[in-house]
A = this chain, B = another copy of it.
Protein backbone atom coordinates (compact mmCIF):
# COMPACT_ATOMS: atom_id res chain seq x y z
CA UNK A 1 0.00 0.00 0.00
CA UNK A 2 1.24 3.43 -0.89
CA UNK A 3 2.45 5.42 2.09
CA UNK A 4 0.31 8.49 2.82
CA UNK A 5 2.58 11.51 2.54
CA UNK A 6 0.35 14.31 3.86
CA UNK A 7 -2.42 14.67 6.43
CA UNK A 8 -5.82 15.05 4.79
CA UNK A 9 -7.71 16.15 7.89
CA UNK A 10 -6.08 19.55 8.04
CA UNK A 11 -6.56 23.08 6.77
CA UNK A 12 -4.60 23.97 3.66
CA UNK A 13 -4.56 27.17 1.67
CA UNK A 14 -6.22 26.29 -1.63
CA UNK A 15 -6.24 29.68 -3.32
CA UNK A 16 -5.85 33.39 -2.91
CA UNK A 17 -9.27 35.02 -2.50
CA UNK A 18 -9.00 36.87 -5.79
CA UNK A 19 -8.58 33.63 -7.71
CA UNK A 20 -12.26 32.79 -7.24
CA UNK A 21 -14.20 35.77 -8.55
CA UNK A 22 -17.64 36.46 -9.93
CA UNK A 23 -19.50 33.54 -11.45
CA UNK A 24 -16.37 31.69 -12.55
CA UNK A 25 -15.36 28.64 -10.49
CA UNK A 26 -11.78 27.55 -9.91
CA UNK A 27 -10.77 23.92 -10.42
CA UNK A 28 -7.73 22.90 -8.40
CA UNK A 29 -6.37 19.63 -7.12
CA UNK A 30 -5.53 19.67 -3.42
CA UNK A 31 -4.04 16.64 -1.68
CA UNK A 32 -5.09 14.47 -4.60
CA UNK A 33 -8.70 15.71 -4.53
CA UNK A 34 -10.03 17.49 -7.63
CA UNK A 35 -12.06 20.33 -6.20
CA UNK A 36 -14.30 22.99 -7.75
CA UNK A 37 -14.26 26.19 -5.67
CA UNK A 38 -16.93 28.79 -6.30
CA UNK A 39 -18.76 31.71 -4.72
CA UNK A 40 -22.28 30.91 -3.60
CA UNK A 41 -24.84 33.38 -2.18
CA UNK A 42 -23.29 36.55 -0.73
CA UNK A 43 -19.92 35.52 -2.16
CA UNK A 44 -19.75 32.69 0.36
CA UNK A 45 -17.03 30.28 -0.72
CA UNK A 46 -18.03 26.68 -1.47
CA UNK A 47 -16.05 23.60 -2.51
CA UNK A 48 -17.30 20.38 -4.07
CA UNK A 49 -15.76 17.47 -5.89
CA UNK A 50 -15.01 18.68 -9.42
CA UNK A 51 -17.13 15.92 -10.94
CA UNK A 52 -20.70 16.22 -12.13
CA UNK A 53 -22.85 13.33 -10.86
CA UNK A 54 -24.64 13.26 -14.23
CA UNK A 55 -21.87 12.30 -16.68
CA UNK A 56 -18.62 13.15 -14.92
CA UNK A 57 -17.99 16.56 -16.48
CA UNK A 58 -15.66 18.91 -14.64
CA UNK A 59 -17.95 21.26 -12.74
CA UNK A 60 -15.24 23.91 -12.68
CA UNK A 61 -15.73 24.69 -16.37
CA UNK A 62 -19.32 25.74 -15.58
CA UNK A 63 -20.58 28.89 -13.92
CA UNK A 64 -22.45 30.08 -10.84
CA UNK A 65 -26.09 31.05 -10.99
CA UNK A 66 -28.37 31.81 -8.07
CA UNK A 67 -25.65 30.65 -5.71
CA UNK A 68 -25.46 27.23 -7.31
CA UNK A 69 -22.71 25.75 -9.44
CA UNK A 70 -24.16 25.06 -12.88
CA UNK A 71 -22.53 22.23 -14.81
CA UNK A 72 -21.30 23.64 -18.12
CA UNK A 73 -22.25 20.49 -19.99
CA UNK A 74 -25.97 19.85 -19.36
CA UNK A 75 -27.02 22.37 -16.75
CA UNK A 76 -27.17 20.32 -13.56
CA UNK A 77 -27.16 22.68 -10.57
CA UNK A 78 -24.93 21.59 -7.73
CA UNK A 79 -25.25 22.84 -4.16
CA UNK A 80 -22.44 23.53 -1.74
CA UNK A 81 -23.41 20.37 0.13
CA UNK A 82 -22.71 18.11 -2.85
CA UNK A 83 -26.42 17.60 -3.51
CA UNK A 84 -27.92 18.28 -6.90
CA UNK A 85 -30.53 21.01 -6.52
CA UNK A 86 -32.08 20.92 -9.96
CA UNK A 87 -31.64 20.03 -13.59
CA UNK A 88 -33.86 21.03 -16.51
CA UNK A 89 -36.83 18.66 -16.89
CA UNK A 90 -35.29 16.23 -14.35
CA UNK A 91 -36.24 14.99 -10.91
CA UNK A 92 -32.99 15.09 -8.98
CA UNK A 93 -33.93 13.72 -5.57
CA UNK A 94 -32.34 10.37 -6.32
CA UNK A 95 -29.10 11.78 -7.66
CA UNK A 96 -26.08 10.64 -5.64
CA UNK A 97 -24.68 13.08 -3.12
CA UNK A 98 -21.17 14.04 -4.13
CA UNK A 99 -18.29 14.86 -1.85
CA UNK A 100 -18.19 18.42 -0.60
CA UNK A 101 -15.47 20.04 1.41
CA UNK A 102 -15.21 22.20 4.48
CA UNK A 103 -13.95 25.49 3.16
CA UNK A 104 -13.41 28.90 4.72
CA UNK A 105 -12.30 32.26 3.43
CA UNK A 106 -10.08 34.07 5.86
CA UNK A 107 -7.18 36.54 5.71
CA UNK A 108 -7.42 36.84 1.94
CA UNK A 109 -7.03 33.11 1.42
CA UNK A 110 -9.38 30.23 0.75
CA UNK A 111 -8.77 27.39 3.19
CA UNK A 112 -9.89 23.86 2.50
CA UNK A 113 -10.02 20.66 4.56
CA UNK A 114 -9.52 17.91 1.95
CA UNK A 115 -10.31 15.04 4.32
CA UNK A 116 -13.47 14.19 6.23
CA UNK A 117 -15.73 17.21 6.39
CA UNK A 118 -17.27 16.14 9.70
CA UNK A 119 -13.91 16.47 11.42
CA UNK A 120 -13.19 19.97 10.16
CA UNK A 121 -12.91 22.47 12.99
CA UNK A 122 -12.70 26.06 11.77
CA UNK A 123 -10.99 27.05 15.02
CA UNK A 124 -7.95 25.14 13.80
CA UNK A 125 -7.31 27.59 10.97
CA UNK A 126 -4.16 29.35 12.14
CA UNK A 127 -4.48 32.92 13.39
CA UNK A 128 -2.49 35.29 11.19
CA UNK A 129 -1.85 38.31 13.34
CA UNK A 130 -0.56 40.41 10.46
CA UNK A 131 -3.72 39.92 8.40
CA UNK A 132 -6.66 42.29 8.92
CA UNK A 133 -4.34 44.56 10.88
CA UNK A 134 -3.93 48.05 9.40
CA UNK A 135 -0.40 48.33 10.77
CA UNK A 136 0.67 45.55 8.45
CA UNK A 137 0.74 45.18 4.68
CA UNK A 138 0.89 41.94 2.74
CA UNK A 139 1.85 40.99 -0.81
CA UNK A 140 2.40 37.58 -2.29
CA UNK A 141 1.96 35.13 -5.12
CA UNK A 142 1.61 31.50 -6.11
CA UNK A 143 4.00 29.04 -7.75
CA UNK A 144 3.34 25.52 -8.92
CA UNK A 145 6.37 23.31 -8.27
CA UNK A 146 6.94 19.65 -9.08
CA UNK A 147 8.26 18.46 -5.74
CA UNK A 148 7.13 16.71 -2.59
CA UNK A 149 5.79 19.39 -0.23
CA UNK A 150 8.23 18.26 2.45
CA UNK A 151 11.17 19.31 0.30
CA UNK A 152 9.80 22.85 0.44
CA UNK A 153 9.41 22.61 4.22
CA UNK A 154 13.05 21.49 4.43
CA UNK A 155 13.98 24.42 2.21
CA UNK A 156 12.27 26.99 4.39
CA UNK A 157 13.33 25.56 7.73
CA UNK A 158 17.00 25.75 6.68
CA UNK A 159 17.82 29.18 5.31
CA UNK A 160 21.46 28.24 4.87
CA UNK A 161 20.49 27.83 1.25
CA UNK A 162 20.07 31.60 0.86
CA UNK A 163 23.85 31.89 0.64
CA UNK A 164 23.85 29.70 -2.47
CA UNK A 165 20.45 29.81 -4.13
CA UNK A 166 19.85 33.50 -3.48
CA UNK A 167 23.43 34.74 -3.51
CA UNK A 168 22.66 38.02 -5.25
CA UNK A 169 19.74 39.19 -3.12
CA UNK A 170 19.24 37.87 0.40
CA UNK A 171 22.16 35.48 0.60
CA UNK A 172 25.42 36.31 2.30
CA UNK A 173 28.32 34.26 3.57
CA UNK A 174 27.57 35.10 7.22
CA UNK A 175 24.37 33.02 7.15
CA UNK A 176 26.41 29.98 6.38
CA UNK A 177 28.90 30.75 9.09
CA UNK A 178 26.37 31.26 11.87
CA UNK A 179 25.05 28.33 13.83
CA UNK A 180 21.37 27.63 13.88
CA UNK A 181 19.15 26.77 16.84
CA UNK A 182 16.19 24.42 16.56
CA UNK A 183 13.43 24.03 19.15
CA UNK A 184 10.36 21.82 19.15
CA UNK A 185 7.31 23.15 20.98
CA UNK A 186 4.46 20.65 20.80
CA UNK A 187 3.40 20.58 17.17
CA UNK A 188 5.53 23.55 16.28
CA UNK A 189 9.18 23.79 15.28
CA UNK A 190 11.26 26.94 15.50
CA UNK A 191 14.63 27.37 13.84
CA UNK A 192 16.48 30.59 14.51
CA UNK A 193 19.71 32.21 13.47
CA UNK A 194 21.14 35.56 14.57
CA UNK A 195 24.00 37.41 12.88
CA UNK A 196 25.50 40.48 14.50
CA UNK A 197 27.34 43.44 13.05
CA UNK A 198 27.32 42.40 9.40
CA UNK A 199 26.67 44.36 6.22
CA UNK A 200 23.16 43.97 4.81
CA UNK A 201 22.78 42.18 1.43
CA UNK A 202 21.00 43.96 -1.48
CA UNK A 203 17.43 42.97 -0.60
CA UNK A 204 17.80 44.26 2.94
CA UNK A 205 19.55 47.41 1.83
CA UNK A 206 16.45 48.14 -0.24
CA UNK A 207 14.18 47.30 2.70
CA UNK A 208 16.13 49.69 4.96
CA UNK A 209 15.71 52.44 2.39
CA UNK A 210 12.02 51.54 2.15
CA UNK A 211 11.78 52.26 5.85
CA UNK A 212 13.77 55.49 5.53
CA UNK A 213 16.93 54.08 7.13
CA UNK A 214 20.58 54.18 6.13
CA UNK A 215 21.50 51.12 4.09
CA UNK A 216 25.30 51.35 4.22
CA UNK A 217 25.93 50.64 7.86
CA UNK A 218 26.44 47.44 9.82
CA UNK A 219 23.31 45.64 10.98
CA UNK A 220 22.17 42.81 13.18
CA UNK A 221 20.20 40.28 11.13
CA UNK A 222 17.80 37.55 12.21
CA UNK A 223 15.86 34.64 10.74
CA UNK A 224 13.27 32.86 12.87
CA UNK A 225 11.48 30.05 10.98
CA UNK A 226 8.26 28.73 12.50
CA UNK A 227 6.74 25.52 11.19
CA UNK A 228 3.20 24.55 12.12
CA UNK A 229 1.29 21.59 10.72
CA UNK A 230 0.35 20.57 8.22
CA UNK A 231 2.80 22.65 6.18
CA UNK A 232 2.81 26.33 7.08
CA UNK A 233 6.09 28.13 7.62
CA UNK A 234 6.19 31.71 8.89
CA UNK A 235 9.61 33.32 9.01
CA UNK A 236 10.47 36.46 10.97
CA UNK A 237 13.27 38.12 9.07
CA UNK A 238 14.88 41.51 9.35
CA UNK A 239 17.84 43.71 9.99
CA UNK A 240 18.36 46.45 12.58
CA UNK A 241 21.14 48.99 12.68
CA UNK A 242 23.78 47.23 14.73
CA UNK A 243 23.59 47.57 18.47
CA UNK A 244 19.95 48.63 18.76
CA UNK A 245 18.62 45.29 19.95
CA UNK A 246 18.34 43.34 16.72
CA UNK A 247 15.03 41.51 16.54
CA UNK A 248 13.91 43.49 19.62
CA UNK A 249 14.90 46.88 18.17
CA UNK A 250 12.21 49.51 17.76
CA UNK A 251 10.73 50.12 14.32
CA UNK A 252 12.75 53.24 13.66
CA UNK A 253 15.97 51.26 13.77
CA UNK A 254 14.99 48.23 11.73
CA UNK A 255 13.37 46.83 8.61
CA UNK A 256 11.60 43.59 9.37
CA UNK A 257 8.90 41.41 8.01
CA UNK A 258 7.33 37.99 8.12
CA UNK A 259 7.86 35.67 5.18
CA UNK A 260 4.62 33.77 4.72
CA UNK A 261 4.67 30.26 3.21
CA UNK A 262 1.65 28.04 2.73
CA UNK A 263 2.76 24.83 1.08
CA UNK A 264 -0.18 22.86 -0.25
CA UNK A 265 0.32 19.38 -1.72
CA UNK A 266 -1.32 18.90 -5.09
CA UNK A 267 -0.03 15.34 -5.37
CA UNK A 268 2.78 13.36 -3.78
CA UNK A 269 5.27 15.15 -6.01
CA UNK A 270 3.77 18.56 -6.71
CA UNK A 271 2.69 21.59 -4.73
CA UNK A 272 0.85 24.85 -4.82
CA UNK A 273 3.25 27.19 -3.12
CA UNK A 274 1.69 30.36 -1.71
CA UNK A 275 4.47 32.74 -0.81
CA UNK A 276 4.34 36.29 0.44
CA UNK A 277 5.67 38.87 2.82
CA UNK A 278 3.92 40.74 5.62
CA UNK A 279 5.58 43.90 6.93
CA UNK A 280 4.73 46.41 9.60
CA UNK A 281 6.52 49.45 8.22
CA UNK A 282 4.94 51.87 5.74
CA UNK A 283 1.94 49.52 5.40
CA UNK A 284 0.02 52.10 3.33
CA UNK A 285 2.76 52.32 0.68
CA UNK A 286 1.32 50.17 -2.12
CA UNK A 287 4.22 50.82 -4.47
CA UNK A 288 6.53 49.42 -1.81
CA UNK A 289 4.27 46.38 -1.49
CA UNK A 290 4.49 45.84 -5.22
CA UNK A 291 8.25 46.30 -5.22
CA UNK A 292 8.70 43.79 -2.44
CA UNK A 293 6.36 41.29 -4.10
CA UNK A 294 8.26 41.57 -7.36
CA UNK A 295 11.61 41.18 -5.65
CA UNK A 296 10.46 38.27 -3.51
CA UNK A 297 8.85 36.58 -6.50
CA UNK A 298 12.13 36.72 -8.41
CA UNK A 299 14.08 35.41 -5.42
CA UNK A 300 11.68 32.56 -4.65
CA UNK A 301 11.62 31.55 -8.31
CA UNK A 302 15.29 30.64 -7.87
CA UNK A 303 14.21 27.71 -5.69
CA UNK A 304 12.12 26.04 -8.37
CA UNK A 305 14.85 24.37 -10.40
CA UNK A 306 16.71 23.37 -7.24
CA UNK A 307 13.64 21.63 -5.82
CA UNK A 308 12.48 20.00 -9.04
CA UNK A 309 15.93 18.60 -9.80
CA UNK A 310 16.22 17.40 -6.18
CA UNK A 311 12.85 15.67 -6.56
CA UNK A 312 13.99 13.94 -9.74
CA UNK A 313 17.11 12.73 -7.97
CA UNK A 314 15.15 11.37 -5.00
CA UNK A 315 12.79 9.52 -7.32
CA UNK A 316 15.83 7.97 -9.02
CA UNK A 317 17.37 6.93 -5.70
CA UNK A 318 14.37 6.33 -3.44
CA UNK A 319 16.36 4.37 -0.87
CA UNK A 320 19.12 6.88 -0.25
CA UNK A 321 19.21 8.03 3.35
CA UNK A 322 19.40 11.80 3.27
CA UNK A 323 21.84 13.23 5.81
CA UNK A 324 20.38 14.86 8.87
CA UNK A 325 22.77 17.62 9.94
CA UNK A 326 22.16 20.33 12.53
CA UNK A 327 21.03 22.70 9.78
CA UNK A 328 18.47 20.11 8.74
CA UNK A 329 16.98 19.80 12.20
CA UNK A 330 14.11 22.16 11.42
CA UNK A 331 12.94 20.04 8.50
CA UNK A 332 13.65 16.78 10.29
CA UNK A 333 11.61 17.77 13.33
CA UNK A 334 8.79 19.09 11.14
CA UNK A 335 8.66 15.79 9.30
CA UNK A 336 8.45 13.91 12.59
CA UNK A 337 5.42 15.94 13.57
CA UNK A 338 3.84 15.35 10.16
CA UNK A 339 4.45 11.60 10.47
CA UNK A 340 2.83 11.56 13.91
CA UNK A 341 -0.22 13.40 12.60
CA UNK A 342 -0.55 11.05 9.63
CA UNK A 343 -0.29 8.04 11.97
CA UNK A 344 -3.00 9.52 14.20
CA UNK A 345 -5.19 10.11 11.17
CA UNK A 346 -4.76 6.54 10.00
CA UNK A 347 -5.39 5.21 13.51
CA UNK A 348 -8.61 7.24 13.70
CA UNK A 349 -9.71 5.79 10.38
CA UNK A 350 -9.11 2.28 11.68
CA UNK A 351 -11.13 3.02 14.82
CA UNK A 352 -13.98 4.49 12.79
CA UNK A 353 -14.16 1.31 10.79
CA UNK A 354 -13.99 -0.81 13.94
CA UNK A 355 -16.81 1.01 15.71
CA UNK A 356 -19.05 1.81 12.76
CA UNK A 357 -18.58 -1.27 10.67
CA UNK A 358 -17.49 -0.84 7.06
CA UNK A 359 -16.91 2.79 6.12
CA UNK A 360 -19.79 4.46 4.31
CA UNK A 361 -18.24 6.12 1.32
CA UNK A 362 -20.13 9.12 0.04
CA UNK A 363 -20.96 8.66 -3.62
CA UNK A 364 -17.89 6.68 -4.62
Measuring CB to CB, which residues of chain A are less than 8 angstroms from any residue of chain B? Answer: 34, 50-51, 53-58, 61-62, 70-75, 87-90, 95, 154, 158, 160-161, 163-165, 176-177, 179, 305-306, 309-310, 312-314, 316-317, 319-320, 322-323, 325-328, 363-364
Partner of A53, one of B177, B323, B326: B323
Whether the pair A322, B75 counts as a contact (CB closer than 8 A) is no
Partner of A177, one of B88, B309, B326, B327: B88
What are 15 residue pairs bridging A and B, where the CB atoms are less than 8 Å apart in the complex? A51-B313, A51-B316, A55-B328, A56-B314, A58-B306, A61-B305, A62-B164, A72-B165, A73-B165, A75-B163, A87-B325, A90-B325, A90-B326, A317-B364, A320-B364
Partner of A71, one of B164, B305, B327: B164
Partner of A34, one of B160, B165, B313: B313
Whether the pair B73, A310 counts as a contact (CB closer than 8 A) is yes
Chain B residue at minimal CB-CB distance from A53: B323
Whether the pair B54, A306 counts as a contact (CB closer than 8 A) is no
Partner of A74, one of B73, B74, B179, B327: B327
Q: Which of A177, A322, A327, A363 has the most CB of B within 10 A?
A: A327
- Complex: A347 Cα to B301 Cα, angstroms: 49
Specify which chain B residues have a CB less than 8 angstroms from the CB of A88 in the assembled complex.
Answer: 160, 163, 176-177
Whether the pair A306, B72 counts as a contact (CB closer than 8 A) is yes
* Shortest Cβ distance from residue A268 to the other chain B in the assembled complex, whole angstroms: 15
Partner of A310, one of B55, B163, B177: B55
- Complex: A164 Cα to B74 Cα, angstroms: 6
- Complex: A125 Cα to B323 Cα, angstroms: 37
- Complex: A55 Cα to B328 Cα, angstroms: 9
Specify which chain B residues have a CB less than 8 angstroms from the CB of A322 in the assembled complex.
Answer: 54-56
Whether the pair A89, B164 counts as a contact (CB closer than 8 A) is no
Q: Give the top 3 A-B pairs by smallest Cβ distance, nearest first.
A: A58-B309, A88-B176, A56-B313
If A320-B364, A364-B319 touch, whether A309 touches B164 (CB-CB below 8 Å) is no
* Shortest Cβ distance from residue A272 to the other chain B in the assembled complex, whole angstroms: 18
Whether the pair A323, B54 counts as a contact (CB closer than 8 A) is yes
Specify which chain B residues have a CB less than 8 angstroms from the CB of A50 in the assembled complex.
Answer: 313
Whether the pair A309, B74 counts as a contact (CB closer than 8 A) is no
- Complex: A72 Cα to B306 Cα, angstroms: 8
Specify which chain B residues have a CB less than 8 angstroms from the CB of A71 in the assembled complex.
Answer: 164
Q: Which of A74, A75, A177, A317 has the most CB of B within 10 A?
A: A74
- Complex: A73 Cα to B152 Cα, angstroms: 12
- Complex: A314 Cα to B34 Cα, angstroms: 12
Specify which chain B residues have a CB less than 8 angstroms from the CB of A95 in the assembled complex.
Answer: 323
Whether the pair A309, B57 counts as a contact (CB closer than 8 A) is yes
Partner of A316, one of B34, B154, B309: B34
Specify which chain B residues have a CB less than 8 angstroms from the CB of A89 in the assembled complex.
Answer: 176-177, 179, 326-327
